[in-house]
Structures are given as structure tokens and as C-alpha cells.
Amino acid sequence: MKRYGGFAAVDGISFEVAPGESFGLLGPNGAGKSTTMRMVGAVSTRTAGELSILGLDPDAYGPEIRSQLGVVPQSDNLDTELRVRENLLVYGRYFGLPGRLVAKRADELLAFAQLEDKGKAKVDSLSGGMKRRLTIARALINDPRVLLLDEPTTGLDPQARHILWDRLFRLKEQGTTLLLTTHYMDEAEQLCDRLVVVDTGTIMAEGTPAELIRRYSSREVLEVRFGSDRNSEVAKRLEGIGDRMEVLPDRILVYSRDGEAELVRITEAGLHPITSLVRRSSLEDVFLRLTGRSLIE
């Protein structure tokens, strides 16, 4: 638990991450994800509760814990006064690692981050995706047991995200424990073995992506549009179709095992949607169901 004055940013978040596991914290902005990450990163003390990282209490063993962690913060805090490779060298020295070892690892990590030919470049000249990869490479310089990633792909274009996911997936395969926060559902489905959905500082749900979809959504979702002013009126006539229905201003969502069959039933009832779409249910449906659709700010 973490309090700032009277406000509890994190209030009763409880989870365990096993070695080698890839664990995700999902939640809308302001849910308490980053605060949780800072506490796990041993740079923020908790107001109450128990926390053990690598078997140690961060209040007593902050430096020991930090020396075994790799941290990728939400906004890049690369050292812009230094060149790309220097960023890795200098960061390695912060851990008190010998210069020769750091130099060797820096070259390996530049290759891993696909930045071999950028070693002498200025940090500011890198694209957003490259900066992110450099930040991840930097976080790996001390060969950490756990990698903390706070919204690793926010603000990147699709190409850059896919390259990044590929790199993170490789780390996962090599047995690095990943703890990441995200509000991208596709990212969570790609990378997380297990996740918790967090909102207003507490856990809303916990499980594997597939489990959560099964528990909080249906196998498929049928999206039908009848035009913005007709949706709610039509919805009344759709009673009984699907397991559950959600009426949004622009469309109606029908949750069901078999979306096509529901669409047939709708047309048989004499209703003809302007557009219709059957898709597999995703974590996004779970997420929106759990955290609500209203804009939280």
C-alpha cells in the first residue's frame, strides 16, 4: 500500500511472480501501476503491507535488490549528454561493474537492440523506437534477474512495437522474469503469462489472458451498428440474443459463443444492421468490462 497524504495510490494490490514468469499489470491511467512498479523497483517505500523482491525486503536491502533489477521507466531517461554506447558503459559503471565486462556487454546489447551501427550516434538523433530499445538494452547491462517495464511501447508506431515485442519475447525465452505494465491489451496478450487488472489502486481480476477472457467475456463478440440514433431503440428488440449485450452510442456489442449465429438471428428478426463484425473476444473486452467505459482522469 502506498499513500500520498490522504490519497492511497495503491491500496491492497497483492500478487506473486515466479522466476522466469512474465507478469503484467493492466489498468487505465492513474490506476496505480507505476506506483506499484516504483515500489517493486525499490525506489519508493510502501506505507503499509508486505513486499518481498528476490526474497528481500526493499526497505532493508534497496541497493542489493536494485543491483539485480533492470528498469525501463515510462518515459525514457537516457543520458542525452552522452552517445549511445556511452549510455550503456556509464550505466554499467553505476552498478560498480568492471569496465572491461561492461564494454563487452555493451557491444552484445547494442547487437541485441539492433543498434550496432548507432553506437557513436547522439541519443537525440534516435527515433522513438530506437530510444526505447536503447533503454531496454541499458536496463539489461547488469544482467538482471527481473526486468521491470513500465508501458514499454506507449507512443511507438506499429513497426517499432513489433520489433520491441520480438526482443522482449526473446528475453522471456531466455528465462528473464518480466514484470510489465501496459494499457495495450494486444501487448498483454503477446507478452504476459499471467496478469492482474488494476483500477483505482486495487486488483479487479487475476489470471492468464485466456482465463480472463473466458471468465469475463465470451468466445466471440458481434458488433452491429444501426446508426447512432437508432442503436438504443433497436437494442430493446434484441433482448435475449447472445449471453450479454452492451449498448454503446455508436454500436451494439453482443457477447456470445457463436457470433455468426447471433447475426443470423438478428436478421431473421427483421433487423438489418448497417455494418456487422464478428471477432474473437479479446482482453480489451475484459478490461473495459472491469474498469468501465467512462473516461477516467
Partner 1 sequence: MSVTEGDRVRPGARPRPVRSLYAGNARAVMSRGWRATRSTNWLVMLSGFFEPIFYLLAMGIGLGTLVGTVITASGREVEYAAFIAPALLAVAAMNGAIYDSTWNVFFKMQFAKLYEGMLSTSLGPLDVALGEILLALLRGALYAVGFQLVMQVLGLNLSWWALLALPAVLLIAFGFASLGMAITSYMKTFQQMDWINFVMLPMFLFSATFYPLTVYPVWLQQVIQALPLWHGVELVRGLTTGDVGWGMLWHVLYYAVMIAIGLVFTTRRLRVLFLD
Q: Does 154 bind partner 1 (CB under 8 A)?
A: no
CA 30 to chain centre: 14
Q: Which of 70, 129 has the CB closer to partner 1?
A: 70
For residue 282, the one-letter residue type is S
List, in sequence order, every residue forming a beta bridge with 151; answer none if it has no partner.
none
Q: Which of 148, 252 has the CB closer to partner 1?
A: 148
Q: 119: phi > 0 → left, psi -120 to 50 → alpha, else beta; which?
A: alpha
- Which of the stretches 78-86, 157-165, 211-219, 264-272 binds partner 1 when contact is defined by CB under 8 A? 78-86
Q: Does 67 bind partner 1 (CB under 8 A)?
A: yes
- Which of the stretches 67-75, 157-165, 204-212, 263-271 binds partner 1 when contact is defined by CB under 8 A? 67-75
Rule CB under 8 A: choose which of 5, 60, 240, 294 binds partner 1: 60
Q: Does 173 bind partner 1 (CB under 8 A)?
A: no
The three-state (H, E, C) secondary structure of 58-72, written as one string: HHHHHHHHHCCEEEE
Where are the alpha helices (H) located in 127-205, listed in sequence order? 128-139, 158-173, 185-191
Take residue 158 and report the three cell numbers written for it: 506499429
For residue 203, the one-letter residue type is I
Residue with cell 438471428: 265
- Which of the stretches 70-78, 227-235, 250-258, 278-286 binds partner 1 when contact is defined by CB under 8 A? 70-78
Going along 172-219, which residue ranges are E strands? 177-182, 194-199, 202-207
Q: Does 34 bind partner 1 (CB under 8 A)?
A: no
- Return the closest-CA partner of residue 181 out of 151, 203, 211: 151
Q: Which of 79, 260 has the CB closer to partner 1?
A: 79
- Return the closest-CA partner of residue 209 out of 34, 20, 26: 26
Using DSSP's 3-state secondary structure scheme, residue 184 falls into coil
Site string for partner 1, 96-135 (x = CB under 8 A): x---------------------------------------
List, in sequence order, every residue forming a beta bridge with 247; answer none if it has no partner.
252
Angle (CA) 72-78-83 rounded to 5° is 135
Q: Which of 54, 278 has the CB closer to partner 1?
A: 54
Angle (CA) 53-57-63 rounded to 5° is 80
The minimum distance between CB 61 and partner 1, in angstroms, equals 6
Rule CB under 8 A: choose which of 146, 163, 205, 253 binds partner 1: 146
Residues in the chain: 297
Rule CB under 8 A: choose which of 22, 34, 35, 142 binds partner 1: 142
Q: Does 68 bind partner 1 (CB under 8 A)?
A: yes
The minimum distance between CB 278 and partner 1, in angstroms, equals 39
Q: How many residues bind partner 1 (CB under 8 A)?
A: 54
The minimum distance between CB 4 and partner 1, in angstroms, equals 10
Would you tell me which residues interact with partner 1 (CB under 8 A)?
Answer: 13-19, 21, 40-41, 43-45, 49-57, 60-69, 71, 73, 75, 77-83, 86, 90-91, 93-96, 142, 145-146, 177, 179
